[in-house]
Amino acid sequence: MRVLGVDPGLTRCGVGVVDVAPNRTARLVHVEVLRSPADQALELRLLSIGRGLIRLLDEYRPDAFAIEQVFAQQNVPSVMGVAQISGIALHQAAERGLPVGLHTPSEVKAAVTGYGNADKRQVTTMVTRLLGLTEAPKPADAADAIAIAVCHAWRQGPARAAGSGPATPAQRAWAQAEAAAKRR
Amino acid sequence: MRVLGVDPGLTRCGVGVVDVAPNRTARLVHVEVLRSPADQALELRLLSIGRGLIRLLDEYRPDAFAIEQVFAQQNVPSVMGVAQISGIALHQAAERGLPVGLHTPSEVKAAVTGYGNADKRQVTTMVTRLLGLTEAPKPADAADAIAIAVCHAWRQGPARAAGSGPATPAQRAWAQAEAAAKRR
């Protein structure tokens, strides 16, 4: 399953594309951080990030779309821009008929590191290990987007559907590797 | 100048199209409230409202686009949906190269009623009078969308550019009619 994950933002919008096998192994296909200058008019910023998202959806043709869920309670100045970008991204995903997953930051962190309060550095470290990357994705928005995509695939995957952890030998092997990576 | 105004929302999204002459007289071209069911998945709701906005932009081909500005401080459950719809609308307006105006609720109320704290009923009443409608637009979201479009045209118009109120006889006549309508 190919998942395109988005860490929405107006200044930096992370987009990660991963291919995840039924045994939960994940391969990084593409990662990119879309940016728009803070001194530009809002509609032009939304246009430039929106065009980037459309380009990546059309280029990588994912089977599923995942994005971080935003809440009004996150009362920071950037939250409106985050919501506006997420609106554009969700609209484009739905226009393409993609199944959509909304995941909270805690769910994403728990999926890749094992605990929901992990910091950005821990998420980046685990993403780097789980995907066997030679160097850490930068900036943090890139790693977050990949983590969202991986989280989505794992929460949808057969291991989860079975309801009781990894079932096949390959799934068990992956779960062990994952556990070992987390201990490192 | 033809302005398409949007009162963004996920459950009800008002769209008003008005033609405003240089003498500030406004004519209603179209008003519509796009809706999406609250029990539908978020991405499908965004898709259906987004498609409605695209249809109206393409059908009425406005010269300018205006929308209510949203703030994170409006800490109500619907604010994220409002921001997501506004992101989609602004993206589509920018994609069409339209000049964009963001107006606060106070600015819109002040433009059409004369005071920034007017309630919804007062806005509806003034919109009905200013556009010479035989009945009030319903629901309030419809009147709000028209008010946003009128507000935008008036704030952009020659009267405002001149910096010192209505300049031509027609503008003065309109200003008098407007003032009379407000007194009624």
Give per-residue pLDDT as tens, B164-183.
444 445 555 556 556 666 55
Q: Which among A44, A72, A87 has the least Cβ separation from residue B79?
A: A72
Amino acid A140: pLDDT: 87
A19 belongs to the catalytic site:
no
Per-residue HEC secondary structure of A149-178 comes to HHHHHHHHCHHHHHCCCCCCHHHHHHHHHH
Amino acid A166: pLDDT: 45
Amino acid B156: pLDDT: 82
Output the CA–CA distances (angstroms, integers) from residue A168 to A25, A59, A161, A181, in the order listed: 13, 33, 13, 20
Residues in chain B with CB shorter than 8 Å from the CB of A76 are: 72
Taking CA–CA distances from B8, the nearest residue in chain A reads A84
B84 with A76: Cβ contact below 8 A: no
Amino acid B75: pLDDT: 60
* B113 secondary structure, DSSP code: H
A100 with B75: Cβ contact below 8 A: no
Residues in chain B with CB shorter than 8 Å from the CB of A64 are: none
Containing structural domain, residue B16: 2-183
Residues in chain B with CB shorter than 8 Å from the CB of A91 are: 43, 46-47, 50, 88
Q: Enter the ipTM.
A: 0.83
B47 with A100: Cβ contact below 8 A: no
Give first-to-last CA distance, chain A, whole Å: 28
Residues shown for chain B = 184
Chain B stretch 118-177, residues whose beta carbon is closer than 8 A to a beta carbon of chain A:
none
Chain A stretch 73-102, residues whose beta carbon is closer than 8 A to a beta carbon of chain B:
73, 75-77, 79-80, 83-88, 90-91, 93-95, 100, 102
Q: What is the CATH number of the domain that holds B127?
A: 3.30.420.10
Crossing angle of helices B140-156/B105-113, nearest 10°?
80
List, in order, residues 6 or more apart from A74 with CB less than 8 Å away: A82
Q: Check B39, B58, B59, B68 and give the catalytic one.
A: B68
Token pair belonging to B22: 């240089």
Q: Check B7, B107, B144, B178 and give the catalytic one.
A: B7
- Report residues of chain A scoring pLDDT below 50: 159-168
Amino acid A161: pLDDT: 39
Cα(B95)–Cα(A46) distance, integer angstroms: 10
At B35, is the secondary structure helix, strand, or coil? strand
Amino acid B159: pLDDT: 44
B7 belongs to the catalytic site:
yes
Amino acid A156: pLDDT: 82
B43 with A100: Cβ contact below 8 A: yes
Token pair belonging to A90: 């969700």
Peptide bond into A99 cis (omega under 30): no
**Rg of chain A, C-alpha, whole Å:** 16
Amino acid B133: pLDDT: 94
List, in order, residues 6 or more apart from B69 with CB less than 8 Å away: B102, B103, B104, B105
Q: How many domains does chain A have?
A: 1
Task: Judge whether A95 and B43 are in contact, CB under 8 Å.
Answer: no
Give first-to-last CA distance, chain B, whole Å: 28
Token pair belonging to A91: 């609209």
B43 belongs to the catalytic site:
no
Q: Which residue has the higher pLDDT, B92 or B175?
A: B92
* A65 secondary structure, DSSP code: E
Amino acid B162: pLDDT: 37
Q: Are strands A100-103 and A2-7 parallel, antiparallel or unpaired?
A: unpaired
Token pair belonging to B130: 């200013």
Cα(A35)–Cα(A55) distance, integer angstroms: 14
Question: DSSP H helical segments within B33-104, as ranges?
Answer: 42-60, 79-95
Amino acid B161: pLDDT: 39
